[in-house]
Structure 1
C-alpha cells in the first residue's frame, strides 16, 4: 500500500484532492471493471505505455509547435494530476511492475459500451513512405498540395478539420473544390505544391493516413503531416467495392483496394473521385526516427498511440484495447491486449468505442494496419483524482 500511495503522490502545493467522476460520453454507457478482470492487463508492457503517456504529459506543459484539432477538455484536471504523479516517480523508465502499479493507483477502468450494443470497433493506420521529389519532372507529376490560403472552414476561419469548407466566389461563399475539381487542376499554378509523387494511388493512401515520409532522389526524407481538408465528407472507397460485389467483405483491406486500382487505372481513378474529400499537407521538422505527428502535437508511438473521436475524448487519456487481430497474416486472429494513449484523431474516427491503432511506418506496418477492421473491448482509464477547488479560487 505504501508503494501505491507513492505512485499516486500529491504535488506539494495540491493539498486537497477530489475524486474524478467518470465522464458522460454520448452514445455509450461506462461500466466499471476491475483491473484484475481485464483480459491481458497484467501481461502487458506497462512501461512502454508509461513512456508514451509521458509524451502526452509533455504536450500539456508546452503548447506544441504543430497543433491539430482540439479534443474535449473533460478529464484534463485529472490527467494533469496523473502527470504530476508520473513526474514524482523521478524516472522516465520505471520497471514494468512499477508502471503497472502507477496506472492502477492513478486510474480507474471503465468499459465503454455503445448504446446500440456490441463492442468497440478498431481499425489500423500507419505512416506511408513513398518516392517523391521537390520539383516536377522525371515521372514525378502528381502534386501534393499544401493548404490553400482561400480555404475557409464553415465557422469562418482557417482552422483545419472543423467542419465544412468554403471559398469566396465574388461576393458569395461557395463549397470548396472537391477531389475531382482539384485533380482536374483547380489549384494548379498557385505555388501550393509541397512535393511531387509518381503515383496518384500513393497520394490517395497518404490522404487516408494523414501523414507520409517522402523519400527524395538524394536520399533525404521529407516529413509531411495533415494540414486540413476541403470540407467534403469522407466516403470509404472500400465500402463501395464491397457494395458492388468487387471485393468480399471478409477480404477487404487496403492491399485489396490498391490491387483494384493498379489492375484497372481508369476504374481506380473513377473510384477515388467518388470520395470528394481531399487532404492538404504541411512539412514538419521531424527527425527520421520520430513517429508521425499526432493531433495532440506529439510524435506517435507504434503500437501505443491511438486516434479517437476528438469530440468525445481527451488527448492523453489511456485506453486498454482487447481484441483478436490479424497481425501476422490475413485471416489470422491473434490476441492484442495493449494499453494505448489517445494522441490523434481522424475524420473517419467517429463514435464512443471507436479507435484507430497506429502501427508505425512503411509497407509492413501498412500491411498490418490495412487488415484491421475488428471488434473488441474498449476500456477507458479515468483519472482517480484531481486537485480540489478551494474557496475563492476561480477557474
Structure 2
C-alpha cells in the first residue's frame, strides 16, 4: 500500500488536543505532531521497527494485531510509525526520570562450596499464594528456603546477588567456563525500597554521589552495617532458569521476549502499554533521542514519565546503566484511534 493511499485513509485523524483526564493530580494527555519530537527525523526507525516486531505478535487487541501485520510487510519504517500512530505525551505530577539497567554476570556454581555459598532461589509455592510473603530480612535470617531443592545455583558475592535481584535477570558463569541464564520468577510481594535513597537520608552520601558502584563499595567496606542496609529493601526476587535463550540475545523482559540494548525500556504498565513504541528525549551529560519499545517493567519504575533503559550485558553495560539518572520526557506512540480516545469529546 502506497504512502498516498494510506494518507488518504487516515486523513480523518489529524486533530491535536490535550486532556487532563484524571484531574489536576493525575496524568494529562497531549497529542503531539511528529515534528515536535526532537531528533525524530534523524533516528534509525528501521532498528526500532525490528524491536517492535519482536513483541508485537504477542499483543492481543485487534488494533495492535493489525498494525503488527502491516509492520511485517512495510518497506519504510518511518512511514509506518507516522501513518499509523500518534505521539501521546502523558503528563505526570512527578518529574521525568530516566535510569538504566543491564544484565549482570556473576560467578557461581551448580553446587554449594565455601566459595559459592549464596543461593539463587526459585519461588516457593507459598510465596505465590500469600501476599505479601516474608520480607528480605525474614527470608535471609531463617532457614525457610533450605532443604527444599529451590536453589538454581550458588554465587560467590551476596552484594552482586542483591543487584541481580534489582536487575531481575542475569548470567551465572560456572567454573567450567559455561554459563546459565536466570530470569525473573516472582517476588515476595513487598514494595521495593531504594537503599541508595536510604544512604542519602542518613547523610552518608549526597544524592549526586549515589550510584550502584558507590553502594557496592560502601556495603563491602562496612559489612555489618552493609547487611543491615540491604535489609532496608524488603523486596526479595526469585528466579527461574532461562538458559534456552540464545547467548547472543538479550535477557527476557516482562513480555517473555528478549530485550534489545538501547532500544528496549522498562516502563510502568499502568500508563504505558507493554509493546508500545516510545520516543525518549533523555537529557543530561549525554543526551539521547531515540525510538524504543516498552518491553519490560520494574518494581522501581512507577509513573507516566519514568523509564529504565536496557544497556546490555556485562560490566561495561552495568557501569553505563549505573551512572544514568537523567531528566527529559517520554512520548508514547499509540494507534491513532486509541490515542484520540484519550481526549474528551469537547476537544474532538
TM-score normalised to structure 1 length: 0.78
Residue 195 of structure 2 corresponds to which residue in structure 1? 237
Let me know the Cα RMSD of the aligned residues. Answer: 2.6
1:18-50 deviation per Cα after TM superposition (whole angstroms, max 9, x unaligned): 999999976211112111121111111111100
Residue 338 of structure 1 corresponds to which residue in structure 2? 290
**Cα distance change, pair 18–323 in 1 and its aligned pair in 2 (3 A):** closer
Aligned partner of 2:226 among 268, 283, 298: 268
Aligned-partner Cα distance in 1 for 2:138–2:337? 52
Aligned-partner Cα distance in 2 for 1:55–1:24? 33
Residue 140 of structure 2 corresponds to which residue in structure 1? 183
Q: Does the alignment pair 1:320 with 2:279?
A: yes
Aligned-partner Cα distance in 2 for 1:30–1:257? 37
TM-score normalised to structure 2 length: 0.88
Aligned-partner Cα distance in 2 for 1:317–1:149? 33
1:100-141 deviation per Cα after TM superposition (whole angstroms, max 9, x unaligned): 121111111121211x264x2211111101111111015000
Q: Does the alignment pair 1:78 with 2:63?
A: yes
Residue 345 of structure 2 corresponds to which residue in structure 1? none
Q: Does the alignment pair 1:348 with 2:300?
A: yes
Aligned-partner Cα distance in 2 for 1:23–1:194? 49
Residue 135 of structure 1 corresponds to which residue in structure 2? 111
Q: Does the 8 Å CA contact 2:261/2:312 hold for their aligned counterparts?
A: yes
Residue 28 of structure 1 corresponds to which residue in structure 2? 27
Aligned-partner Cα distance in 2 for 1:182–1:100? 50
More helix by share: 2
Deviation larger for 80-89 or 142-151: 80-89
Q: Does the 8 Å CA contact 2:19/2:30 hold for their aligned counterparts?
A: no
**Cα distance change, pair 381–20 in 1 and its aligned pair in 2 (3 A):** farther
Q: Aligned to 2:293, what secondary structure does the other structure show?
A: strand
Q: Aligned to 1:297, what secondary structure does the other structure show?
A: coil
Q: Does the 8 Å CA contact 1:9/1:88 hold for their aligned counterparts?
A: no
**Cα distance change, pair 42–153 in 1 and its aligned pair in 2 (3 A):** farther
Q: Which runs of 5+ in 1 are unaligned?
A: 11-16, 61-72, 155-163, 166-175, 326-332, 387-395
**Cα distance change, pair 301–3 in 1 and its aligned pair in 2 (3 A):** same
Residue 51 of structure 1 corresponds to which residue in structure 2? 50
Shift of 1:6: 5.5
Q: Does the 8 Å CA contact 1:78/1:384 hold for their aligned counterparts?
A: no
Residue 173 of structure 2 corresponds to which residue in structure 1? 215
Q: Does the 8 Å CA contact 2:94/2:305 hold for their aligned counterparts?
A: no
Give matches, 1:279-318, under 5 Å.
279-284=237-242, 285-318=244-277
Residue 83 of structure 2 corresponds to which residue in structure 1? 105
Give matches, 1:84-103, under 5 Å.
84-89=69-74, 98-103=76-81
1:336-355 deviation per Cα after TM superposition (whole angstroms, max 9, x unaligned): 00111011111111112211
Report how many aligned residue pairs link the two structures: 331
Aligned-partner Cα distance in 2 for 1:35–1:240? 40
**Cα distance change, pair 139–36 in 1 and its aligned pair in 2 (3 A):** same
Q: Does the 8 Å CA contact 2:19/2:28 hold for their aligned counterparts?
A: no
Q: Aligned to 2:311, what secondary structure does the other structure show?
A: strand
Shift of 1:214: 0.5
Residue 67 of structure 1 corresponds to which residue in structure 2? none
Q: Does the 8 Å CA contact 1:7/1:101 hold for their aligned counterparts?
A: no
Q: Which runs of 5+ in 2 are unaligned?
A: 339-348
Q: Aligned to 1:195, what secondary structure does the other structure show?
A: strand
